[in-house]
Amino acid sequence: MIVGFNTDVKYRNEIFHIQTEEKGENNPTIETLVYHNGEILLSRRISYGHLKNIDNMRNRVKKMMKVQHDEVGNELKNGKFLHMLSLETQTLDEESLDEMVIGYLNQL
């Protein structure tokens, strides 16, 4: 097995723990989990079975693990998982309903 990654990310006064590991040759999968208060909020998996017979498999898998781990961390920091935060840390914009609708439609 390849040693994984563990990172705590603070976002809006809440701590999220991101853990990435590979599951071994019998289950060639990289798994990233996001924990909050001991509960799993997100799970992301990718197979690396297609790399099993290449010379530098361990290095490639380690790079894939790092990329997936960092992507999840960046998505969290950029607010992609805002819906997972407790209501105490969420704030409403001071926009009118019309302004919110126009902003949403402009994003399409």
Give the tens place of pLDDT for each residue, 15-51: 899 999 999 889 999 999 999 888 898 999 999 999 8
pLDDT tens digit string along 42-101? 999 999 999 888 889 999 999 999 999 999 999 988 888 777 666 555 555 566 777 878
**Among candidate residues 38, 23, 35, the one with its CA nearest the CA of residue 81:** 35
- Residue 81's domain comprises 5-107
Domains contained in the chain, number: 1
